Amino acid sequence: MTKFTDLKLDARVLKAISDAGYEVPTPIQAGAIPPALEGRDVLGIAQTGTGKTASFVLPMLTLLAKGRARARMPRSLVLAPTRELAAQVAENFDTYTKHMKLTKALLIGGVSFKEQDALIDKGVDVLIATPGRLLDHFERGKLLLTGVQVMVVDEADRMLDMGFIPDIERIFSLTPFTRQTLFFSATMAPEIERITNTFLSNPERIEVARQATTSDTINQGVAIYKPTRKDRTAKEKRGLLRYLIEKEGAACTNAIVFCNRKTDVDIVAKSLQKYGYDAAPIHGDLDQSKRTEVLQGFRDGNLRFLCASDVAARGLDVPSVSHVFNYDVPGHAEDYVHRIGRTGRAGRKGTALMISTPSDEKLLAAIESLVEKDIPRLEIDYTAEPPHPRKKKEDAPEQAAKPERKTSQRKSRRDTKSSDSGDNRVVGMGDHLPSFIAMSFEERRAS
């Protein structure tokens, strides 16, 4: 069995790994670290939760052990699709550089440019960034990428989903041609394949699991539910979510509840709070300080339920998440893999449950096609609460009879019949018409 001590890592890195309690690398780590240490490009394909972050952090620290950074010219660059994932990578660097004097900077949105500029000006060995914020600094003339020796693209398929591929291509063009590139993705879409063929040079390909597979440590299930009425779907789904939580009982120590839309994230979180559950939302519209506060509370165990959009599907590294609830069936089958990958991490057991309504039939079929197995159907004994009866309005007090409308004098004249009922004059208007028209038929004929 391969151990970290067999991988020719720097002694200070090995000491930090030992302090963290790790001895044996995961398959992706054992496959990616040796070629990375040799200076080769690496293409890593592995499902979420398999230790991809350490597979590029550890060799990068060993390669950067010698040398010194210059102002505004980072020696290495790590690109991540979301703030949370970038922050997770930064935490990994903190863990494994405790015995080294390497510096880092984290460039993400929601943080002051001034603070980030100050770090860059001092010179950093490792720059961790989201693509948009990195280009903002570059365009402001605060950053040069010509000194990058090692470049990492993490969660490349998520970059594709979020529309970052043009930014990634531009950033590649700003770095030296001689750089070493480490490229990681959970799936290999055609566009991702094109980029790897363009920017990677004869990479070592490590694929430790079939693309888009789910971990065997995760117990999956789907509740097929038909709402009583279409306009009550959302309310009844929230009730079913609470039913599933209660059915899991004490086994559900904490959980992430995924929704497709940000508005639903807020609504579901408020609904859980209303019924006494300790819950809070996290999504892209929240301030970075609030997102950090909520996420830290969940990691520390002070928050039991985290209601999240897909911005949190990647980059949440909380090893002890017992459950994942998919309040909505994800619109993209790949997102299902990443969502449920938040539980059952590092060999632990986990549970992932999903709610599906008749309108989700095609989405559910796409997920089962992707993972190449049927998701077990849950037996549920859930009855929706009947709608509250509408309160009958009290009989209004009898209103005073409305006074009769006064008809206009003109209408009165029009509706009044001529007193001479024997002739054929036009009723009510004979006096105002020409005499010829007012004549009777016999009189007109005689004339």
35 & 157 share domain = yes
AA letter at 386? P
Q: Is 151 found in the same domain as 93?
A: yes
Residues 62 and 202 in one domain: yes
Q: What is the pLDDT of residue 287?
A: 82
387 found inside a domain = no
| Residue 88 belongs to domain spanning | 4-207
Same structural domain for residues 349 and 422?
no
Mean predicted confidence (pLDDT) in 408-417: 48
Domain boundary among 147, 177, 207: 207
For the entire predicted model, the pTM comes to 0.70
Mean pLDDT of the chain: 85
Q: Is residue 91 part of a domain?
A: yes
The tens digit of pLDDT for each residue in 339-362 reads: 898 888 767 899 999 999 999 999
pLDDT score recorded for residue 445:
55
In a domain, 293, yes or no: yes
Q: What is the CATH number of the domain that holds 243?
A: 3.40.50.300
Q: What is the pLDDT of residues 150-186, one digit of tens each?
A: 999 998 988 887 889 999 999 999 999 999 999 998 7
Domain boundary among 161, 187, 207: 207
* Structure tokens given for 305: 């339920």
Tell me, what's the pLDDT at 268? 97
Say what percent of the chain tops pLDDT 90: 61
Residue 40 lies inside a defined structural domain of this protein: yes
Q: Is 107 within the bounds of a domain?
A: yes
Our count of domains for the chain comes to: 3
Of the pLDDT bands very low, low, confident and very high (cuts 50, 70, 90), residue 51 is confident
For position 388, what pLDDT does the model report?
Answer: 62
Q: Do 199 and 72 belong to one domain?
A: yes
Verify that 292 and 360 share a domain, yes or no.
Answer: yes
Closest CA to 219 of 327, 350, 321, 330: 350
Asked if residue 160 and residue 280 are part of one domain, the reply reads no
CB 418 within 8 A of CB 430: yes
User: Does residue 126 surpass a pLDDT of 90?
Assistant: yes
Residue 261 and residue 155 share a domain: no
Question: Per-residue b/e over 355-385, b at no fewer than 16 CB within 10 Å?
Answer: bbbeebeebbebbeebbeeebeebeeeeebe
Amino acid 315: pLDDT: 60
**What tokens does 129 get?**
């960034």
Residues 173 and 322 in one domain: no
Tell me: do 202 and 243 sit in the same domain: no
Residues 292 and 228 in one domain: yes
Q: With contact defined as beta carbons under 8 Å apart, do 81 and 129 qualify?
A: no
pLDDT at 425 over 70: no
Do 203 and 226 lie in one domain? The reply is no
Name the strand (E) or helix (H) holding 352. strand 350-356
Q: Is residue 134 part of a domain?
A: yes
**Is the pLDDT at 33 greater than 90, yes or no?**
yes
Decide if 144 is inside a domain.
Answer: yes
Q: What is the pLDDT of residue 49?
A: 67
8 found inside a domain: yes
Q: What is the pLDDT of residues 428-441, one digit of tens each?
A: 444 444 454 455 55
pLDDT of residue 3: 92
Of 315, 345, 371, the one marking the end of a domain is 371
